[in-house]
With several copies, the nearest count.
Chain A
């Protein structure tokens, strides 16, 4: 009878009485699953994140133990004696910074930097779109977050999932859940967030600017580019080396043309495997205690501000460039500088074609778009150097 008693007390129904907020978290994870599956919000990451959040909040399941990672210290004793759950072990890849780097190898292998090489001044747009990161940093500071936390919140404005997770796992791991959810949700919402800002800040004439066709880029340039960027950026900012180096390793695999089978694997199977592990273990950090508080609401609010400010920064710098340069830039491509590849570039294309159906901005917007990836990695490097 005692056994039955113990058994009943171990059910989730008994545990939930002490942890009623877990039910709220389960509801939130179901909402996120809905967004991922029905609304198709970045499902490749949001579905694993949401399911990880669901698993971590199942009372008594013990698939993730927040206390094994409390205070940023990994409790190897518990993990090493086999007391960890699946998500504890998978989370090590996040905590040790392995997954975001591996994903960046795949991202690099999937990225064509030719539009950027053909029109390098679009790098300025990719720089300006990082404005959101730093404006949000100020806001978070003012709301009372620590500098390290503020940096992690700001990086949402980088519109780049792996960068945000890499930075947050180092600077403020307790905020991983809300920051990852915000980053991927807002990336999915780029087609909703950006167009009003783009229209507000541009005139009809600006939106109709046609840009001259991009020059072809030679294979040699495409091969030299990743090597050059790795060396130069890492010299300027060593803390950006892991992200930029991995991005460019993947890109070199792509452009070199001599390691096609590796290129294919990093873009597909390796990336898929790591994406699942990353998603479910990042989701697992979203326990009720870490997620259900005013901070999360503040982070979600600041995240959307970061996205908006970044988009605005890109558009405004494009307008500024047009003041000084005879070769005009359509400012609609500025908003693509937030990264969110390739969705933000597609938004530039769509908004541009609404004014003039004969205007094809997509390739031009890919320049700032991929520049934004480099830009946020650099911004992450600054934050890591200062607070890491």
Chain B
């Protein structure tokens, strides 16, 4: 390693950065989607089956927000698709999401 010398690995290191950031974002965005799916399934099964025997006491009145959940799901999926198509973070444009 030559300190302060010209970087010998120049061709490629931007690729590393791109690949790294894209991977981090793709993985974590997919996790967002998975968590939302999990939450949706929980909510669904909670409705269809008997309530949990020992529900956690809600720390304060929490308004039920089923609709935004679905929208965020759509949003996250769109984002993930955009990512998957290879565009960097800066190029994401989400056109279709509106708050109803």
Task: Give the chain A neighbours of B9 by CB distance below 8 A.
Answer: 141, 146-147, 150
- A225 at the B interface (CB under 8 A): yes
Tell me whether B4 and A3 are in contact (CB under 8 A): no
Q: Please measure, in the bound complex, the distance between the C-alpha atom of A213 and the C-alpha atom of B25, giving whole angstroms.
A: 26
Residue of A nearest to B31 (CB): A123
How many inter-chain contacts with C-beta < 8 Å in the A-B complex? 152
What DSSP secondary structure best describes chain A's contact surface?
A: helix
- A371 at the B interface (CB under 8 A): yes
Interface size class of A (residues with CB under 8 A): 35 or more
Q: Please measure, in the bound complex, the distance between the C-alpha atom of A213 and the C-alpha atom of B46, giving whole angstroms.
A: 21
Q: Please measure, in the bound complex, the distance between the C-alpha atom of A49 and the C-alpha atom of B35, giving whole angstroms.
A: 25
Tell me whether B5 and A144 are in contact (CB under 8 A): yes
Tell me whether A216 and B35 are in contact (CB under 8 A): no
Given contacts A144-B3, A294-B3, A378-B28, contact A117 B39 (CB under 8 A): yes
Tell me whether A228 and B34 are in contact (CB under 8 A): yes
- B2 at the A interface (CB under 8 A): yes
- Nearest Cβ in chain B — how far from A67, in angstroms? 19
Count chain A CB atoms within 10 A of each CB in B16, B30, B32 and give the residue with the most: B16
- Nearest Cβ in chain A — how far from B58, in angstroms? 5
Q: Can you offer 18 A-B residue contacts whose CB atoms are under 8 A?
A: A120-B35, A121-B72, A123-B35, A127-B25, A127-B29, A130-B20, A144-B3, A146-B9, A213-B59, A215-B65, A216-B62, A219-B52, A221-B38, A228-B38, A232-B27, A294-B3, A324-B97, A382-B24
A residues apposed to B, CB below 8 Å:
3-4, 7, 116-117, 120-121, 123-124, 126-127, 130-131, 133-135, 137-138, 141-147, 149-151, 213, 215-221, 224-225, 228-229, 232-233, 236-237, 293-295, 298, 324-327, 371, 374-375, 378-379, 382-383, 386
